[in-house]
Copies of this chain bind each other. A is one copy, B any other.
Amino acid sequence: MGNVTIRILARQLQLSAATVSKALADSHEISGPTKKRVLEMAAALNYTPNPYASSLRRKKSKTIAVILPEVADSFFSQAINGIEAIAQDKGYHVLVCLTHERSQKEQAILHEMLGGRADGILISVTSETSDPACLLELQEKGVPVVFFDRTCDGIDTARVVTDDLQSSYKATDHLIRQGCRKIAFLAIAEGLSISHQRIEGYKQALEDGGIKFSRENIIACTHDAAENLRLLKKIMSRKDRPDGVIASVEKLAVPVYQVCRELGLNIPGDLKVIGFSNLVTAAFLQPALTTVTQPAFEMGRSAASLLFKALGNKNFSLSQQVEVIPSELQVRESTG
Contact = CB atoms under 8 A, between A and B. Distances in A.
Interface string A43-68: 00010111111011000010100000
A104 to B, nearest CB: 12
Contact of A51 (B77, B80, B116, B257): B116
A48 B286 contact: no
Contacts of A70: 81
Interface in A53-104: 53, 55-56, 61, 63, 70-73, 76-78, 80-81, 84-85, 88, 93-98
B80 A71 contact: yes
A53 B51 contact: no
Interface stretch (A20-28, A33-41, A206-214, A276-284): A276-284
Contact of A52 (B61, B73, B97, B114): B61
A54 to B, nearest CB: 8
DSSP class of A's interface residues: helix, strand, loop or mixed? mixed
A55 B80 CA distance: 26
Contacts of A116: 3, 48, 50-52
Interface in A248-303: 254, 257-258, 261, 279-281, 284-288
A85 B98 CA distance: 8
Nearest to A280: B254
A223 interface: no
A56 to B, nearest CB: 4
A257 B284 contact: yes
Contact of A50 (B49, B53, B115): B115
Contacts of A77: 71-73, 76-77
Given A52-B53, A254-B280, 10 more contacts: A3-B116, A3-B141, A51-B115, A71-B84, A76-B77, A77-B77, A81-B98, A88-B105, A93-B97, A285-B285
Interface of A: 3, 46, 48-53, 55-56, 61, 63, 70-73, 76-78, 80-81, 84-85, 88, 93-98, 105, 111-112, 114-117, 137, 141, 254, 257-258, 261, 279-281, 284-288
